[in-house]
Structure 1
């Protein structure tokens, strides 16, 4: 039995085939880069039909290469928070708003939850521009939408005919009661939700199947069961082996996040949630608590484009001369704040520049700034458990940068900090959840410490 794992990310859409042990099959990967439309006004959008076309191309490529043979399960990880307005025929009325879009503002005629703390504990979120409580009224004032879906529901609905929203994706909207696993009445009132505007919620164990036209197009997926999508952050935790309160995951890809998974069956009271942290659902049995940041590997992309950085081994050598907490003091919020912060896009800052300042010192300062923010929020996450946690670093950006791994180890000391170099942690995690194996004991023996030699990063790979 093989598993097809789909990763519906912000910067790319990917399809990857794994074996029954969730080990990627050699060469069984198809990927299309996506163009995220951003501007200084705070827009961060994707083209929905274009995204669907790229996913179809990935599946065409895997089918043509024979990689879809023996696939019996399709697992999906998808970005949280996205929203797309649809017309009566189900066609998009605009682009997909992603997590990076900071334009939505609360309507002037509403004052937010009656009890903000109770609302935060119940939904794991805030009355904030990232969530549908603010996004739906903002969109409704601009387009005549009759229905709203996330990116995952849009693309899977086109392939499967029906695509209910998983509790994991629903929790990222800010409209879900995390304990009852139903839409929260106060959150829906804030969002101005009307009948039929929200997707139905997928029950535990939901499975879907391809429409006949796509079965004919991809015969390798005949009879394959499609599982409900989970949030990409939750999938990364599972793929990193961070599936219980002993171990937190710090993932740095395009953006960055720190997260901890805890068991929380439906109907059971949830652990108290610190004021600065969010909480979402992994599935019907687990929650994930953490903090996220709009900046991560995209800081390197900016610095590489604008500052004429050296490359490969030359960049590694230059960074080696900068202390792990060194570089130019920097505020890395180029893309603004993720919840609960409200800083708009273009809030990044550099301090103390001199004529002797180098491009590498600017890059180091930006990366160290992310480490510092993670360290502060990890301390808050630890307050929800009864012991210090180990940390597992993952994601393409830290895998490609030995200096960034050392900087995280320094900022998070004295905790044990390990590195999981597997570039497919999201796909692996989504597959494990789909197979019902999330709670398999995590084995840290195959995860290297950040001070292990040789470096687990790819040779000459200093490009997050």
Structure 2
């Protein structure tokens, strides 16, 4: 049996086929770029119907290439925190609000949790613009039609394809409304969000499986009998895909954004591990939790620098960076996209300091990358306070695959810890497959998947519907 692994990312949607050992089959990869609408006011949105069309293109490409004929299981890695208001027919009332959107704020006169520490322990989150406790009231005031329900990007996409699309406990934990121990919607969090259970997605039970709707089975007949597993939050999937499962190994993943995370066993109903005040906690599935910190900057900074600073490319850029010591470059605050929780800095908080007439574009790029390394180092120390001693670090993600200097900088800044690199650009998709198979802590042999390029979508990727006013 082969596994189709889908990655519903922020900058692209991807599909790849894995063998029964969760190793990618060479060449069986389809990717489509998606356009994230961003603005200086903190906007960070995706168009849901366009995103769905891009995923369909990926499935069409894989089907045409004959890659879906032996697929028996579909696994999904999906971004956390996204939210979309829909009407009674399930139609979007606006764009998908992604994790990158920093506009939501508490309504005038609103107050937060009665006991912030207890709220943090239960939900793993804070009363923060990233979570539905703040986002839902903000969205209600900006939709002309009162929303009937709120769903995430994964539920919108899978709801269009499958016979049912309940929200996984992993995705639900990213909303900030889930009690991580009881795996039910938290009453106080729902009160803060001014929402009732009927307006939230149904929660998927342990072991849930879905099936393609008949009309889509006719389009992709190879997937007619395939079982679809409940989605896994992208950060949790990346940890599993990089082999960072257990208290002795943390993962540092750099894709569009950056995160440092630790996965630990914590079955539903069992006592949860200690949670430092500055770290979040979400669910991998019903048996594991993931604890860590995330930053809005990562590969998006690399892309920004390449576009705006007229950097050299390829071997020329590598040679220029090699002249700078790992962890060096100008002094930089890389928070261009603002803070992820619990921080409150808005988009546009990045800084460059200590510039001189000798400062070049490559010095600025190096400083930005080194700045992210130092943010990670601070939170990694907090993570280590919950386990016995220093942890081993596994680096992964597409942005690190593109820069050997960045990998060396992480090793230098995180020393004396042992730092290793997992050269797999699709760790999120492969991690989701391992979760679906129930083999989180088993090593998986990696092989080159042959190509990682993105094909431009034939579907227009700009905004197609009304935007939310700021």
| TM-score relative to the length of structure 2 | 0.94
Between the two structures, name the one with larger relative contact order (CA 8 Å, sep ≥ 6).
2
Tell me how large the CA RMSD over aligned residues is: 1.5
Q: Does residue 1:203 correspond to 2:201, yes or no?
A: no
1:132-171 aligned within 5 A: 132-143=132-143, 144-171=146-173
Render the CA deviation track for 1:262-315: whole Å, top value 9, x for unaligned. 000000111121011000000000000000000001111111111111111111
The CA deviation at 1:60 is 1.2
Q: 2:72 corresponds to which residue?
A: 72
Is residue 424–residue 446 contact of structure 2 (8 Å, CA) maintained in 1?
no
The residue that corresponds to 2:302 in the other structure is 300
Give, in whole Å, the separation in 2 of the partners of 1:336 and 1:195. 31
The equivalent of 1:453 in structure 2 is none
Which of the residues 214, 217, 224 maps onto 2:216? Answer: 214
Contact 2:257 2:297 in 1 (8 A): yes
1:271 to 2:273 alignment:
yes
Match of 1:384 in 2: 386
Q: Tell me, in whole angstroms, the C-alpha distance in 1 between the residues paired with 2:250 and 2:391.
A: 6
Of the candidates 404, 407, 420, which is equivalent to residue 405 of structure 1?
Answer: 407
Task: Indicate the residue corresponding to 2:288 in structure 1.
Answer: 286
Q: Secondary structure at the match of 1:196?
A: helix
Please, what TM-score do these two structures have when normalized by structure 1? 0.95
In structure 2, the partner of 1:369 is 371
The 1-side partners of 2:378 and 2:216 are apart by 47
List gaps (5 residues or longer) in structure 2.
Answer: 454-470
User: 1: distance between equivalents of 2:335 and 2:233?
Assistant: 23
1:115 paired to 2:118: no
Equivalent position of 2:361 in the other structure:
359
- Cα distance between partner residues in 1 of 2:288 and 2:107: 33
Which consecutive aligned stretches of 4+ in structure 1 deviate over 3 angstroms post-superposition?
Answer: none
How many residue pairs align between the two structures?
Answer: 448
Alignment correspondent of 2:187? 185
CA distance in 2, matches of 1:352, 1:173: 39
In 2: Cα distance, 1:64 partner to 1:237 partner = 31
Give the CA deviation at 1:195. 4.4
Alignment of 1:320-335 (within 5 A): 320-335=322-337
Contact 2:398 2:426 (8 Å CA) reproduced:
no
Between the aligned partners of 1:277 and 1:210, the Cα distance in structure 2 is: 37
* Aligned position for 2:458: none
Equivalent position of 2:427 in the other structure: 425
SS at match of 1:254: coil
Q: Secondary structure at the match of 2:199?
A: coil
CA offsets per residue over residues 398-430 of structure 1, 9 Å max, x none? 111111011100110000000001112111101
